[in-house]
A and B are shown apart, each in its own frame.
Chain A
Amino acid sequence: MIALIGLVIGVALGLLVRPDVPLWLEPYLPIAIVAALDAMFGGIRARLEGIFDEKVFVVSFVSNTVIAALIVFLGDKLGVGSQLSTGVVVVLGIRIFSNAAGIRRKLFGA
């Protein structure tokens, strides 16, 4: 519940403040967001399966985003930034799908 409220407040803040993404953050933010989405879906799934742990959620959320951004950062330094970010997005996309599938199975049994 608090998470949902936080999300809503965050979106509202973003709409109100109209923030500019700083230039140095621009390549990493999208990847970090996708990673955070993955962590969020993972959290919902864990909660539905009754194995949700707040500590695990917070740690996985933070580490997911940081690692995703780091991988892209490293890729940029190595000159394979765009390929690597594509790879990261693919992996995270697959994870989001499997998490969504878990949630769906839990909720509807299908």
Chain B
Amino acid sequence: MTGERPTGLRGLLPLLRPRVSLGQLTGGLLCLVLGFAAVAQIRSNERDTTFATARQDELVLILSDLGQRSERLRGDLRELEETKARLEQDAQGRTALEEARRRATAYGLLAGVLPAEGPGIEMVITDPDGGVAAFGLLDALQELRDAGAEVIQVNDVRVGVDTYFLDDRNGVRVDGRPLTPPYRFLAIGDAHTMTTALNIPGGVVRTLQDAGATVSIASRAKVTVDAIRSS
């Protein structure tokens, strides 16, 4: 600081007075380059930089992910091609009928209007203190769904897409029907995946135990889900 009085914005005016000299021109040229480079950089930054800035291991992960997905899709494609070939050869429509039946069964299982049987797990939640609320049961159900359970039954209620749990004065209701402990979940799907998912530290089982319940999970080679939803 030289101790002069501040000049205000008017102090900028002498800067704007053009003074032509070699140094000024060089400075102007440098500023031109700066502006050009800045704009170029900003433009190149605006482009998709997800991959440009990703680290090598992330890229490898993305690549292997994509590889797996394309493998799976190729499998799907093969299957569909086979179905298509069979449908084309089929004069009497037997294959078409078979296909339609197969799909009807699959959709019936998903919708819960058909009984089902298969490998899976049985989870029993005993609740002596009545500490388990609808929220905890819904968590358990969602965890099972996330872990790939295809068909689920709670006590004698078949679970569908619109199944709900409701806290009631007398306990918990599921789809409007009263649910009495112990809560027994039957789930068909990959037993190992579901058991792991439920037992994750801090996960569903832990939360339920904190609420005073005891949870036992057993994997079964054959789980029979015989409750159906009236459609």
Contact = CB atoms under 8 A, between A and B. Distances in A.
B26 to A, nearest CB: 5
Interface stretch (A71-79, A89-97, A101-109): A101-109
Contacts of A36: 30, 34, 37
B28 A61 contact: no
Interface string A13-45: 111001111000010011011001100100110
Contact of B34 (A7, A19, A47, A109): A7
Interface stretch (B1-9, B96-104, B136-144, B190-198): B1-9
Contacts of A55: 23
A5 B40 contact: no
A22 to B, nearest CB: 10
Contact of A108 (B8, B19, B26, B41): B8
B37 A6 contact: no
A67 interface: no
A6 B44 contact: no
B18 interface: yes
A20 B24 contact: no
Nearest to A36: B34
Interface residues of B, number: 38
A21 B2 contact: no
Given A2-B24, A5-B28, A6-B35, A14 B40 contact: yes
Interface in B169-193: none
A6 B6 contact: no
Given A48-B11, A107-B12, A108-B6, A2 B27 contact: yes
12 contacts: A1-B15, A2-B20, A3-B27, A13-B36, A13-B39, A14-B40, A20-B40, A26-B44, A37-B34, A105-B1, A106-B11, A107-B8
The 6 closest A-B pairs by CB, nearest first: A54-B23, A10-B35, A14-B39, A109-B6, A6-B28, A2-B28
Interface of A: 1-11, 13-15, 18-21, 26, 29-30, 32-33, 36-37, 40, 43-44, 47-50, 54-55, 57-58, 61-62, 105-110
Given A7-B35, A13-B36, 8 more contacts: A1-B18, A2-B27, A6-B31, A13-B32, A14-B35, A36-B30, A48-B15, A54-B22
Interface of B: 1-2, 5-9, 11-12, 15-41, 43-44
